[in-house]
Amino acid sequence: MLRLTATQARQGASCAAVRLLDMGLIPGDRVAIAPHHEQDIDQAQRQQSSIIMSMWGALSVGVIPVMVSPDLSERERHYILRDCAPSVVFETTASLVALSSSFEESHPLPPYPLPPYPLGRPMHYTSGTTGKPKGVWSGVLTPEAAAGLWATEIAMWDCSPRDTSLVHGPLTHSGPLRFALYTLLAGGDVLLPGWFDAELHAKAIAEHRPTIAFVVPSHMQRLFERSDGLAESPYRMLVHAGSACPAVLKKAIHDWAGAENVWEFYGSTEGQFTTMPGTQWALRPGSVGKARPERELRIIDGTIWCAPPEYGYFEYWGDPEKTAAGWRVMDGKRWFTVGDLGRLNEEGYLYIEGRREDLIITGGMNVYPAELEEEILAFDGVTDVAVFGVQDERWGQKVCAAVVGDVDLDLNALTTRLRQDLAGYKQPKEFFVVEQLPRTASGKIQRLKVAGLLGLE
């Protein structure tokens, strides 16, 4: 288990900053952090360390890192790299290590004085009803706005030099990356396992006694499923998000870590909405909490809207129409939505009443049916398809597909094709061949009805 200290991370970020400047990059330029999976665990841990330092260094000089998941297929990966037009692409662990390694080893330039906080946030790609991923772009922030962005989060999670954060998820994803950086900015340490493994993480919890972790519910489910159980919780702050947490699992987490030490938040790639301490959830089961500091929530026609601070503004890279559709001005403030449905009670607690129909969240990963349906429809013999989610104890939701097609439709060949072109987490875990799909009078597929018609609810 690799331990990255705040001092080491700052040194590496300084190295990355000065090297990017030496390449001629300027504020607003983009660099892609797009490494492939490492099979060796030591190399995977070095990759995680260099991702953090390279990202921090880039943001310190106003260069925006574009985080590209190694889980994507080559086609998906190439689309993002083409769309974001990066000045440099870092595709290997070696290239990232070279960017963030110490000056004494390979570079004579003096260190770069890092600003107090990174001047922005990384760009992550999110899909939508069209199935084409779009980058969530926040641009380069002023030092004052950067302080608002990062200091608010560090204060909300009460991060300090005494903390050690155990990374569970991929560092090309927003949540794990942010919580690692919160801890380092506050002067704490980060434990880097290389990848998530229930046995490895259980051992780290027992031996290293981390104080902070960000997880998705499936991480905890897999840890609790271990036959050896878990050591006593060391966490003062165990934060979960990314997908709905079943009540049974939520109670198990509270019993293990203590409800007072468990927090949930509701957010998206685009922005953050709420936080919910475990002690309040016990009084209001099902709620995802109240608005975060400096934010307001509003429900309009059942849809959740949020008014963020100015440093929370964003646009969709290269798509002004999609950006305009996601924002509106009300009462002199800018509000955004990602289309989720919900309600607010009289105390201001938010209850999610349905993720938008076009979204499936499986193991904390977003899968958009439109993208997958487009791929399946391109296969010979398929005449109609509906991709939908089914509740699952381990993954939150599992991806399923109902297809209409020829009697000789080869599902094995279809599965093989999808594995070549799409990330593994997007693959349907089950296919169902049906005669027809439920549609509205206007011809729109009613995805939410498919599971019920197949007896899967």
Residues 224-280: tens digit of each pLDDT: 989 888 999 999 999 998 777 878 889 999 999 999 999 999 998 999 999 999 999
Instruction: Report the 10 Å Cβ neighbour count for 191.
Output: 23
Output the CA torsion sign for 365, 156, 122, 20.
Answer: negative
Percent of the chain's residues with pLDDT above 90: 67
Q: Which residues pair with 215 in a beta bridge?
A: 240
Instruction: Report the 10 Å Cβ neighbour count for 433.
Output: 14
Delimit the domains of the chain by residue range. Answer: 360-453
Q: Which two tokens stand for residue 435?
A: 């005669």
Beta strand pairing call for 327-330 and 333-336: antiparallel
Rounded distance, CA 92 to CA 16, Å?
15
- Closest by CA to 437, choosing from 390, 383, 397, is 383
Q: What angle do CA 185, 188, 194 make, to 5 degrees?
A: 95
Instruction: Report the 10 Å Cβ neighbour count for 310.
Output: 13
Instruction: Report the 10 Å Cβ neighbour count for 120.
Output: 25
Residues 106-129: tens digit of each pLDDT: 555 667 899 999 999 999 998 654
- Closest by CA to 69, choosing from 170, 178, 219, 216, is 170
Q: Which two tokens stand for residue 161?
A: 């030099």
pLDDT by residue, tens only, the chain of 457 residues: 999 999 999 999 999 999 999 999 999 999 999 999 999 999 999 999 999 999 999 999 999 999 999 989 898 899 999 999 999 999 999 999 999 987 655 555 667 899 999 999 999 998 654 557 899 999 999 999 999 999 999 999 999 999 999 999 999 999 999 999 999 999 999 999 999 999 999 999 999 999 999 998 889 988 998 988 899 999 999 999 877 787 888 999 999 999 999 999 999 899 999 999 999 998 998 899 999 999 999 999 889 999 999 999 999 999 999 999 999 999 999 999 998 888 999 999 999 876 665 678 888 788 878 778 878 888 888 888 889 988 888 888 899 999 988 867 888 889 998 988 888 889 899 999 898 888 765 456 777 788 888 888 6
Rounded distance, CA 179 to CA 150, Å?
11
Rounded distance, CA 145 to CA 296, Å?
18
Rounded distance, CA 123 to CA 121, Å?
7
Q: What's the confidence (pLDDT) of residue 194? A: 97
Residues 372-421: tens digit of each pLDDT: 887 888 888 888 888 998 888 888 889 999 998 886 788 888 999 898 88
Is it true that domain 360-453 has CATH number 3.40.50.1220? no
Q: Which two tokens stand for residue 237?
A: 């702050």
Q: What's the confidence (pLDDT) of residue 130? A: 53
Rounded distance, CA 228 to CA 100, Å?
39
